[in-house]
Amino acid sequence: MRLVKKPLLNVLNEHLIDYPTPTSINYAWSFGFLSGMCLVIQIVSGVLLAMHYTPNVDLAFFSIEHIMRDVNNGWLIRYSHANGASFFFIVVYAHMARNLYFGSYLSPRILLWYSGLVIFVLMMATAFMGYVLPWGQMSFWGATVITNLFSAIPYAGESLAQWLWGGYSVNNATLNRFFSLHYLLPFGIAGMAVAHLALLHYSSSNNPLGCSSTMDKIPMYPYFIVKDVFSLLVLLLAFSAFVFFAPNYLGHPDNYVEANAMVTPAHIVPEWYFLPFYAILRAVPDKLLGVVAMGASIAILFFLPFICRAEIRSTKFRYVYRVLFWIFVADVFLLGYLGGQVAEEPYITISQIASFYYFAHFIVLSNVAYWLETSAVLMPCRLRKRQ
């Protein structure tokens, strides 16, 4: 309540200009700021697109073509929104990887970690529903496959899937409700981002050393604002390269074919940022257990502050876990590659091995690494005591 009573300029000065920031943080801490900028790009471009989009199964595909061909700079708005979603996930994944590397999910930042995960889940829901809106072949069949997963839930699955569709299959009612939710959820993400920022300033920023201290801090402006602005310019440069020179590189060519319920694509895949989770889903032969495994791959991140018992936060000082961390990153990239392949051997077997390592990394290997590290450190001390 004290923030509300303060003049707006004082609040901005306290939280953006004079906010005490650890001197040791580097460019890896810019990904949070870049995520906020990507959210702004998505909301602005999304509102402009919604002014010309028609959420109807007979007109949706052609309304996209109308935006691309007839609306002034419509191609720029559409490509900015489509590629902006990919860049949004890139910076968010990098932001999450930095948090995992430097132990930012541990106390006293558990609530901060949880708020970030809620944003991530909302992003996934928003992106999935947005992928359906162009009403191309991959949009329609991707929606059919993913929403069919709800039918695997015991007892209530079929009713839940039909409620989600608004009928007995993906149809006009599905498209309408997906459009409504896709328009609404980004504002929920923006609200959670404000809460995320408030929790960050409440618990203070982490740093590469992994230790909390009120000493050795400097104002955010100009030292770190300059870093964030430079990072934003680099991001915009890469973003512009895709928008102007390779706008369809991160998309799927089948989405330039109008949705047809009578013609199934040869290979149905979601967008690239869902491929690791899709690979985990397909790695399990049972439909229900596959859904559980995919859900667990996200849910395990919520339990991470309680699974990890390491007292040393930063992986920078954990020489065993550092190797395991980069193996984990490679494993996630491998899952992303496998998720885009046809569901046949040897991809299924490799997906099962990679999925097993994904869970083993969090549940077993992180604690085993800490045990090995502490044993290696304490062993010389024990030998000296015996002598």
Q: Is 182 annotated as a binding residue?
A: yes
What percent of the chain stands above pLDDT 90? 64
Is the peptide bond prior to 219 cis by the omega test (within 30 degrees of 0)? no
The enclosing H or E element of 43 equals helix 31-50
Superfamily of domain 8-268: Cytochrome Bc1 Complex; Chain C (1.20.810.10)
Phi, psi (degrees; rounded to nearest 5) at 180:
-60, -45
List, for residues 249-306, the tens digit of each pLDDT value: 998 899 999 999 899 888 889 999 999 999 999 999 888 999 999 999 999 999 999 8
* Helix, strand, or coil (residue 257): coil
- Band (384; pLDDT cuts 50, 70, 90): very low
Chain mean pLDDT for the chain: 89
Q: What is the dihedral of CA 367, 369, 370, 372, to 10 degrees?
A: 130
Say if residue 15 carries a ligand binding annotation: no
My answer on whether omega of the bond before 7 falls inside 30° of 0, hence cis, is no
* 66 has binding-site annotation: no
Q: Is 361 annotated as a binding residue?
A: no
- pLDDT category, 381, cuts 50, 70, 90? very low
Instruction: Consult the annotation and say whether 267 binds a ligand.
Output: no
| C-alpha distance across the termini of the chain, in Å | 61
Answer with the residue of higher pLDDT: 378 or 227.
Answer: 227
pLDDT at position 143: 93
Could you state, in order of their start, the residue ranges of all structural domains in the chain?
A: 8-268, 275-386
pLDDT mean over 325-339: 96
Given a cut of 90, whether residue 25 has pLDDT beyond it is: no
Catalytic positions, written as ranges: 201, 205, 227-228, 271
**C-alpha–C-alpha distance, residues 139 and 129, integer Å:** 9
320 alpha-carbon distance from chain centroid: 27
**Would the CA dihedral through 54, 58, 61, 67 be positive or negative?**
negative
What is the value of pTM for the model shown?
0.91
